[in-house]
Structure 1
Amino acid sequence: MSALTQWLRDPSPQSRLQARLGQSFMGWLRFRRNPLAMAGLAVVLLLLVVAAFAPWLAPYDPIAQNLKLRLLPPLTAGHPLGTDDFGRDILSRLIMGSRITLFIITLVAVTAPLFGMLVGTIAGYFGGWTDEILMRVTDIFLAFPKLILALALVAVLGPGMENAVLAIALTSWPPYARVARAETLTVRNSDYIAAVRLQGAGAARIIWGHVMPMCLPSVIIRVTLDMAGVILIAAGLGFLGLGVQPPMPEWGAMISAGRKYLFEQWWVATMPGLAIFIVSLGFNLLGDGLRDVLDPRNSGK
């Protein structure tokens, strides 16, 4: 292990692979020194594990109803988090709901940043009227609050998980376009871009192969920090009945179903609320840690 560590720490790497692995290793060492970032990573990894093994971890069917067991308090035998108004085990519904949350996060994280990066790099690289048109369209989307715009889109498209994901993705791309445009403006006139252009590379190749990779660190940080907002918007849509439809165990819909029992059977709404809070906090802490690692201004710390 010491030989591998020494190889990764070599200040004069002998290959591109060694250089990239060494850079990743040093970044991991800086990340590991941040206890809050490690806590955020633990929360996100826990979400992944729970979502992956949800059918085996859930002690009960999250949809099956048993009115004889309705509104049991936490720490009841067999139901550590209690049951809801239909007698469904809350722990099982939270576990299965993690899959829905992760599904929404993954689809939004794949679609919105990619589209935003494409718009931002094209606008920053070409400039002129292309930049003006694309950025004014971006400003129009940024003029509306995300949740309000998502509500309007879902109202037009109709309720459902797929439409909720589409609405969230359509409202999430403008910040990535702004970040990518700013990064592109700083590198489009650099020497290595000019060298690639002199070698005969076209605009598409330069944008895709050289400009967009330079935007990735900033976009990755932004994606991680925005995941908390995505979770809250998805939960808000579910709370209003415009997202995932019952009886699917979506956390926002669970809070909505338990709000009428908030003062007496508080656990029905509190448990999914705590799940949203913990996962959102985990992504925020992870994003702060990644920002410290991926920011080139902190590379020497």
Structure 2
Amino acid sequence: MEDFAQMKAARTTLRTWLLTDTPASPRQAALGRAYRRWRRFSSNPLSMLGLAILLLLVAVAAIGPMLVTQDPLQQVLAERLTPPNAAHWFGTDQLGRDILSRLVHGSRLTLAIALLVVVLVVPVGLLMGTVAGYCGGIVDTVLMRLTDVALAFPKIVLALAFAAALGPGVLNAVIALSITAWPPYARLARAESLRLAQSDYIHAARLQGASPLRILLRYIVPLCSSSVIVRATLDMAGIILAVAGLGFLGLGAQPPSPEWGYMVAAGRNVLLDAWWVATIPGLAILAVSLAFNLLGDGLRDVFDPRHGG
């Protein structure tokens, strides 16, 4: 009982230290700001639901293949189109492959493609937008006209065109989606940079002799990052749907790869007779896309400057 009281007192002391209005060091101020943001985020049940689903997806992608005994590529024609049962929780497909095993192994591929697209796209869009917004003039004009040209085409149509030109495959799907996904980030980063470039602390940095490159990398880019990260989180749902769409059309991962979009495409011909073949991977895509949207909405509320984020 005494130990419990001591732990409770320690938590109260730590919370008071984090929430103080007069932090004694930059480290304390940063930790306090992070704690306030976490409290605001965790107060939203839907955001926590999205976070829980995504943590479950990461756990499944990390350790799921070690827990699933069936080989996702093994064909057992004698068990083709078996309904969900004790041996195959999600049933089997047209070639007798276990859908649960394919779903678990496919989570790695789907998540890896989406994360790779974001990792490629966000730095490019952030850099182009901040350089255009901070430098202005001819640099801004050239970069933004390139962005306008890219935005003039529907993203999914342009991605399909690039994927068809490059040929089917996971790497080509990543390249096609990356080429079409960067313009919104550039626009957002430019708008943030135009606002930040006129801030008092940027003027103070100039007066202290900071070079344009230092101002751009030390102040502008980090301050624009939060908005871009929130946008990336919200876009993850669209990227996953685009990845699934390319797989559905045969322009993404190729058979026998257990990619979710391809699994849906493979099951559409037997949808009436064996609903589970296409429905279960479709529900997985829906759940993950919804989770990213919920998480993005929560992060947007946390980083909204009107809420002191």
Higher mean displacement: 19-28 or 139-148: 139-148
Find the residue that maps to 1:277 and give its secondary structure. Answer: helix
Is 1:200 the counterpart of 2:209? The answer is: yes
Alignment of 1:100-249 (within 5 A): 100-249=109-258
Matched residue, 2:81? 71
Cα distance in 1 for residues equivalent to 2:251 and 2:175: 13
Residue identity (%) = 59
User: 1:93–1:249: 8 Å Cα contact kept in structure 2?
Assistant: yes
Find the residue that maps to 1:223 and give its secondary structure. Answer: helix
Matched residue, 1:295? 304
Matched residue, 2:108? 99
Number of aligned positions between the proteins = 299
Matched residue, 1:254? 263
User: 2:114–2:243: 8 Å Cα contact kept in structure 1?
Assistant: no
Cα distance in 2 for residues equivalent to 1:97 and 1:57: 14
Cα distance in 1 for residues equivalent to 2:153 and 2:73: 36
RMSD of aligned Cα (Å):
1.1
Is 1:14 the counterpart of 2:24? The answer is: yes
Show structure 2 runs of 5+ residues with no match.
Answer: 1-10
Q: Cα deviation per residue 1:15-38 (whole Å; 9 max; x = unaligned)?
A: 111101100001111111100000
Cα distance in 1 for residues equivalent to 2:198 and 2:308: 24
Matched residue, 1:29? 39
Cα distance in 2 for residues equivalent to 1:60 and 1:250: 16
Q: Cα deviation per residue 1:111-142 (whole Å; 9 max; x = unaligned)?
A: 11110010000110111111111111101111
Deviation at 1:202, TM superposition (A): 2.0
Deviation at 1:214, TM superposition (A): 1.0
Deviation at 1:199, TM superposition (A): 2.5
Find the residue that maps to 1:189 and give its secondary structure. Answer: coil
Cα distance in 2 for residues equivalent to 1:2 and 1:32: 18
Q: Cα deviation per residue 1:62-115 (whole Å; 9 max; x = unaligned)?
A: 1111101100012x1210110000100001111111101110121112111110
Find the residue that maps to 1:229 and give its secondary structure. Answer: helix
Q: Cα deviation per residue 1:180-222 (whole Å; 9 max; x = unaligned)?
A: 0000000112221122222222222211111011111111110
User: 1:228–1:283: 8 Å Cα contact kept in structure 2?
Assistant: yes
User: 1:70–1:86: 8 Å Cα contact kept in structure 2?
Assistant: yes
Matched residue, 2:60? 50
TM-score (norm 1): 0.97
TM-score (norm 2): 0.95
Cα distance in 2 for residues equivalent to 1:93 and 1:275: 12
Following TM superposition, the consecutive aligned residue runs of length 4 or more in structure 1 with deviations greater than 6 angstroms are none
Cα distance in 2 for residues equivalent to 1:80 and 1:242: 29
Q: Cα deviation per residue 1:143-192 (whole Å; 9 max; x = unaligned)?
A: 11111111111112111111111111111110000000000000112221
Higher mean displacement: 172-181 or 50-59: 50-59
Matched residue, 1:277? 286
User: 1:57–1:95: 8 Å Cα contact kept in structure 2?
Assistant: no
Q: Cα deviation per residue 1:209-243 (whole Å; 9 max; x = unaligned)?
A: 11011111111110110000000100000001110
